[in-house]
Amino acid sequence: MSWLWSVRTPGHIAKSEHVRCRLVNRRTWTLLTSVVLVVAFGLLGAFARVPFVALGPGPTYDTLGLDGDHPVIGVEGHETYPTAGHLNMTTVSVTDQLSLFGALGLWVSGRYALAPRDVYFPPNKSEQQIEQENTEAFNDSQTTAETAALRFLGYPHKVLVGQIVKGSPADGTLEPGDRLLNANGKPVTDAASLKAALAGTKPGDRVEIRYQRADQPEQVASVQLGRNDQPGGDQSQGFLGVGATERPDVPFEIKISLADVGGPSAGLMFTLAIIDKLTPGELNGGKFVAGTGEIDPAGNVGPIGGIPFKMIKAKEAGATTFLVPAENCAEAKSQAPDGLQLARVANLVDATKAMEALRVNQAPAAC
């Protein structure tokens, strides 16, 4: 029998221990470096802000219901009629100040989309300015909804001076809110009629503008027209420098109360709610209807953004029909939640026809 012996000399032992220590040190540093990198990545992902916002389903509000203790739409000085069901306006939530992990988490959920932050928060504007612009757009949508609804119902309206171009012939003569009655010898009955009254004039021509300021007697101003040097302006035609707006001329008041909402896309649903309250019967047949869309004084419905998120929230809230601006139909049709009926609306006539179909349990014109 033979035995295999391993004999280590003292020098050999010392050399092995040195190698072992060097390996241990290397492993320790590798481990420490890995831990530091993991911690740094974790802190970066948890706290570092990314230049994106998350768009998702926002709150939905019944325009026939209450905002706190007050009706969303109130009418003072005129008879109103009972309503039923829902006419819900919808919104999109914008989540800002996202961390890397937060952004990824929202995106993976499938309910949110990421968009560049600069699109919603331009670097040349403060957050206060952006919030003010959104609030003004929302307030304008309320005013326009009132005008569109009462015009649709046949109430009279008036034409007022809106924005005045600084330094224009109208600046210093007319004021925002003045009621325009006649221009260049022609009656001003709507915004288009003011433009038509000045057609054929040229810079330097003098025209008379008949107007009324508040409750004062009617006044006449002689104005020398200037030249329109604004981008895209017609420099060959006389320029007054007035933006005309239309308002209802009625002896009652409509108040729309809804806090912490911005943007113009609630116009259509506000308009339908006003019509519902001012006319007998239930406009929607007692159904749960939601929708979105800008509206102009003539009742034309314009496209909006974020419709997939609005449809999601509407369906979750219980809506069975969703009113879609005609120009958003392709997008809406491809992403509509199951069980949500889409109704295509290009104008207020389309919207009321959709309501009429629902009242008799028929399908409205679809996307």
The catalytic site residues sit at 265, 310
Strand 294-295 to strand 73-76: parallel, antiparallel, or no bridges (unpaired)?
unpaired
Q: Copy the structure tokens of residue 240.
A: 């007054």
Give the C-alpha distances (Å, rounded to integers) separating 207 from 126, 178, 220, 228, 244.
42, 17, 10, 16, 17
- Distance, CA of 234 to chain centre: 31
**Euclidean distance between CA atoms 152 and 348, whole angstroms:** 8
* Strand order across the 86-95 sheet: 113-116, 52-62, 86-95, 288-291, 321-325, 341-345
For residue 135, the number of C-alpha atoms closer than 13 Å in the C-beta half-sphere is: 10
Measured on CA atoms in the order 317, 319, 324, 328, is the torsion positive or negative? positive
SS3 content of the chain, % helix, strand, coil (to 5): 35, 25, 35
Q: Copy the structure tokens of residue 33.
A: 């470096």
**Euclidean distance between CA atoms 256 and 146, whole angstroms:** 9
**Which amino acid is residue 205, in one-letter code?**
D
Report the interhelical angle of 348-359 vs 267-278 (nearest 10°): 60
Strand 288-291 to strand 86-95: parallel, antiparallel, or no bridges (unpaired)?
parallel
Instruction: List beta partners, residue 343.
Output: 323
- Within 10 Å of residue 337's Cβ, how many Cβ atoms? 14
Q: 85, 93, 92, 94: which is closest to 63 by C-alpha?
A: 85
Gyration radius of the chain's alpha carbons: 32
**Which amino acid is residue 243, in one-letter code?**
G
